[in-house]
Amino acid sequence: MPSISVWMIRLAIIYLGAGVLIGGLMLIDKALHLIPLVWILLPVHIEFLITGWIIQFTLGTAYWILPRYLKTKGRGKILPAILMAIFLNMGIVLVIISTLSLEYSFLKLFGRVFQLFAIVLFINLHWKRITSYSKA
Amino acid sequence: MPLITRLFIKTGLVFLLFSLIAGVLIQVESVSIPNLQILFWHTLMLGWITQIIIGVSLWMFPGRKREETFSNQRWAWVAYVFLNSGLAFRIIAEPLLKLSASTIWKLLLIISAMLQFIAVVAYIIEIWPRAKGKKRHVKRTKE
């Protein structure tokens, strides 16, 4: 498994743990009404689990598992792949900051743009790898 | 494909079916089941997508022991049993808590939260060391 996939998958697993922890606390509050402040974290719960966990895990796994280039046996240029992982996680962090503080709500746009860049890089890296080794 | 993976995927399909039925019911005006929207999203994202990711990763990631004994897969089994019982408890408790504030539904909801969290921790324990580079994998196999 390439290092980029290892990092993306491990970050995704951390986001899963954190996202489910927040979700669990919200569920407990639904029953006991002890920690109503936890509901502030609802957008964080959603961002962690959708972008941080599901999207990041699938991108990281796809980078590892999709067919490699026939001639070079590689996965393409390394720098765009590193940037893909960095942009996606920067995007998540900026979106989280923007949802937690009104003062920084403008960061949400930047966060989503970073996430968009990450996906553009992913598509660019993988488009030609979505292929078949057989000529038929 | 190991049994645990097949179970994760097939149970995931059952939750997918449930979530789509819930999606239809949400649109039917004469049906009013409390908290159905929440159940729709959680059976879809956790019951289906997360469950299929977990099942396939347990099968495809490096470091899987070929022998399908319980001791070789104990964390995966904990994850499977706790995740699905936790989600099932939630499906029961969410609408009923809205209808009556009985202690039993509150308790069921708390148990559901704990079961789901433990399931994720068990999955992390199983999969974390298996998300690794080739060099480390080869080194560990030689040892």
Please give the residue range of the domain that contains residue B89: 3-142
Among A54-58, A66-70, B8-12, which stretch is predicted with the lowest mean pLDDT?
Answer: A66-70
| pLDDT value of residue B137 | 57
Confidence of residue A5 (pLDDT cuts 50, 70, 90): very high
What is the value of ipTM here, to two decimals? 0.90
- Least Cα separation, residue A64 to chain B (angstroms): 10
* Residues whose CB falls within 8 Å of the CB of residue B38, separated by 6 or more in sequence, listed in order: B94
CB within 8 Å: A54 and B50: yes
A2/B133 Cβ within 8 A: yes
Cα–Cα dist B14/B20, whole Å: 10
How much is the pLDDT for B41? 97
Q: Which of A3, A20, A61 sits opposite B116 (nearest CB)?
A: A20
Residues of chain A with pLDDT > 70: what percent?
99
Number of domains in chain B: 1
Which residues in chain A are closer than 8 Å to B133, comparing Cβ atoms?
Answer: 1-3, 6
Do residues B76 and A10 make contact, with C-beta atoms less than 8 angstroms apart? no
Distance from the Cα of B131 to chain A's closest Cα (Å) equals 6
Alpha carbon separation from B49 to A50, A102, B81, B95 (Å, rounded): 10, 32, 17, 23
Residue type, B94: E
Contact (CB, 8 A) for A20 and A75: no
Nearest CB to B109; choose among A1, A2, A27: A27
Per-residue pLDDT tens over the stretch B101-127: 889 999 999 999 999 999 999 999 999
Task: Give A54 to chain B, closest Cα distance, Å.
Answer: 7
Q: How far apart are CA B34 and CA B31, in angstroms?
A: 10
| Residues in B touching A17 (Cβ below 8 Å) | 120-121, 124
Chain A contact for B105 (CB, 8 A cutoff): yes
Contacts of B114 (CB under 8 A, 6+ apart): A24, B86
Buried b (16+ CB within 10 A) or exposed e, A12-51: bbbbbbbbbbbbbbbbbbbbeeeeeebeebeebbbbbbbb
Cross-chain Cβ contact A6/B120 below 8 Å: no
Q: What pLDDT is attached to residue A135?
A: 60
Q: Which parts of chain B register pLDDT below 70?
A: 135-143
- Predicted confidence (pLDDT) per residue in A115-135, tens digit: 999 999 999 999 988 887 776
Give ∠ CA B138-B142-B143 in degrees, rounded to 5: 120
**Which among B60, B106, B114 has the least Cβ separation from residue A24?**
B114
Provide the pLDDT for residue B140: 52
Record the tokens describing residue A37, joined without a space.
Answer: 């402040």
Chain B contact for A78 (CB, 8 A cutoff): no
Kindly state the percentage of chain B with pLDDT values over 70: 94
Of the ranges A24-28, A67-71, A130-134, the best mean pLDDT one: A24-28
Residue A98 above 60 pLDDT? yes
d(CA B113, CA A28): 7
- Model pTM score: 0.91
